[in-house]
Structure 1
């Protein structure tokens, strides 16, 4: 299980916040995690585990998608891609996350935007799929026509988020780092107001290409997850986050460390009960923190809070 430490070597290990990244493929994923970790100026110890780590070729093949199954694409250690059965790999991921001991990590980040399930965890957890889904819903609920780009063409038929049925959603597909496919996808999304790159495989370079070519705001899954990590782990009373507007930073500075944690989990779409389980506090205390967050951030609803977070400079 490889690890990477960020921050000064002179800083005590006791100060390091431990993050476990869980991916659906094989570790290490330097291409993914190192980009996400840029601009974080808090001492971190980052560790990785892949759901396919230490499996033989035959064992990995057992997770391959069948014709009648929903799919998810991921990367192996040799850099090649593999398309997996979403249900089969989801069960393996759930067992891995449930196996972490209470307090073993300051944060667990599930780096997959395709696993539509809650994961039982003994540590505070960022679920990339829930975070991106919450962002899509909040944008669509505002009246925007949301364009979604997914890695595989077959995922267009598999895409099914019941909460989105009443909203204006247009989907297309393109592989990450494929400018030709990204350009073709934008033809399908010409009438949309905002575009979501719906996979953590998409890079900052992909976001820049799509933003320049479309002239539209582009939501990148990696940025949403990085934002959640910042809010959950920063402990100082006053913080300045790279890439956000001064207005947002000023409002954020009003929040206590616990309120920032609650804000991050609210933005992920979690209920008060789910937030209470992750933070080991009562649902009533969560409700008080949620009310304080809405007041201090000057918004009237959780949906408005989510829109504020994702449009504050992370797009």
Structure 2
């Protein structure tokens, strides 16, 4: 269940090929998860070889069904290899996940990415790990410093009682992945939120657009947050400087919420900043705009100076807080 991406030179190391990072993507269900991994690979700029693994790999449908969540048992909502979804006993998944993580820890991967939320248990690893739930929690904590009200959409009702405690300052909603009617119903309960987080990696950009259209709010997916965290880890391994920008927010909407600077942004500076605020790397922005990554760095620096900001994270927080105070 592995695949290799085209060889690319790493940004900042022109003229030499470096060691290709080996990444293991781990899901709490069954691999492969092309729907999620495709989006993650786009955010990694193709700078990795990868394989996919699932905690429920090797089990038949009937074997999985034997461990469905029942009664008061904590449930996790996940996808099987045939594309169907199932609610599985959380303790059973964690037990299998621990064994899988132990196995992968000795396989020589440069990075392991747990592409699932709802797993709160830590894993003792020698290999660098992007823990999906912890990445999402850290992202939330960065915004709530500014008293941002975050609404959350979960795939299962019980999960809204398990996550983030007092960090969530808005109403919570529940909606199963792919259920259009329930997504719209969930959106109706989130009118007081400044920002909406779709807490399962099963929610894609189309789901986020649907929620955004109903609420008029900025929407971020756990999928994008985890991808941004993985990209940051790989960039640090390669010695490439990253800003730590929080991914998946719509850059144009964020810029509109900011006061106009004394010296207006040029069209190119605005284009670059829009992509920066969405968590894209300089190299990726350069390809999208048809300019070099060095030119991207220049426009990015000028835009940040005009807005008197030290990081994209600061601009995101500022945009959300200012938008709420103006309402």
TM-score (norm 2): 0.69
Task: Identify which of 37, 49, 57 aligns with 1:45.
Answer: 49
Which residue does 2:71 correspond to in 1? 67
Task: Identify which of 84, 87, 104 aligns with 1:83.
Answer: 87
Aligned counterparts, 1:19-34, within 5 A: 19-34=23-38
Which residue does 2:156 correspond to in 1? 152
Which residue does 2:213 correspond to in 1? 212
Are residues 103 and 80 of structure 1, via their aligned partners in 2, closer, same or farther at CA, if it must alter by over 3 Å?
Answer: closer
Aligned counterparts, 1:116-195, within 5 A: 116-156=120-160, 159-161=161-163, 164-165=165-166, 168-195=169-196
Q: Is the 8 A contact 1:6 1:45 kept in 2?
A: yes
Question: Mean alpha-carbon deviation: is it higher for 93-102 or for 117-126?
Answer: 93-102
Q: Is the 8 A contact 2:43 2:228 kept in 1?
A: no
SS in 2 for 1:47: strand
How many correspondences in the alignment?
258
Structure 2: distance between partners of 1:52 and 1:312: 42
Structure 2: distance between partners of 1:221 and 1:175: 15
Q: Is the 8 A contact 1:150 1:173 kept in 2?
A: yes
Q: Is the 8 A contact 2:111 2:128 kept in 1?
A: yes
Q: Is the 8 A contact 1:198 1:220 kept in 2?
A: yes
Deviation at 1:130, TM superposition (A): 0.8
SS in 2 for 1:15: coil
**1:236-284 deviations in whole A, cap 9, x for unaligned?**
545799987649969x9xxxxxxxxxxxxxxxxxxxxxxxxxxxxxxxx
Which residue does 1:274 correspond to in 2? none
Which residue does 1:258 correspond to in 2? none
- Structure 1's unaligned 5+ residue stretches are 253-296, 300-304
Which residue does 2:5 correspond to in 1? 6
**1:85-130 deviations in whole A, cap 9, x for unaligned?**
1122112112211222457111000111111111122210001111
Deviation at 1:298, TM superposition (A): 4.4
**1:132-184 deviations in whole A, cap 9, x for unaligned?**
1222233334212211000123434xx224x5237523211112233221111
SS in 2 for 1:118: coil
SS in 2 for 1:100: helix
TM-score (norm 1): 0.71
Please say which structure displays the higher CA radius of gyration. 2
Q: Is the 8 A contact 2:118 2:159 kept in 1?
A: no
Aligned counterparts, 1:89-100, within 5 A: 89-100=93-104
Which residue does 1:265 correspond to in 2? none
Which residue does 2:203 correspond to in 1? 202
Are residues 28 and 309 of structure 1, via their aligned partners in 2, closer, same or farther at CA, if it must alter by over 3 Å?
Answer: farther
Please list every run of at least 4 consecutive aligned residues from structure 1 whose deviation after the TM superposition is greater than 4 angstroms: 9-14, 238-245, 247-250, 307-313
Structure 2: distance between partners of 1:43 and 1:34: 13
Deviation at 1:15, TM superposition (A): 3.3
SS in 2 for 1:97: helix
Deviation at 1:35, TM superposition (A): 1.9
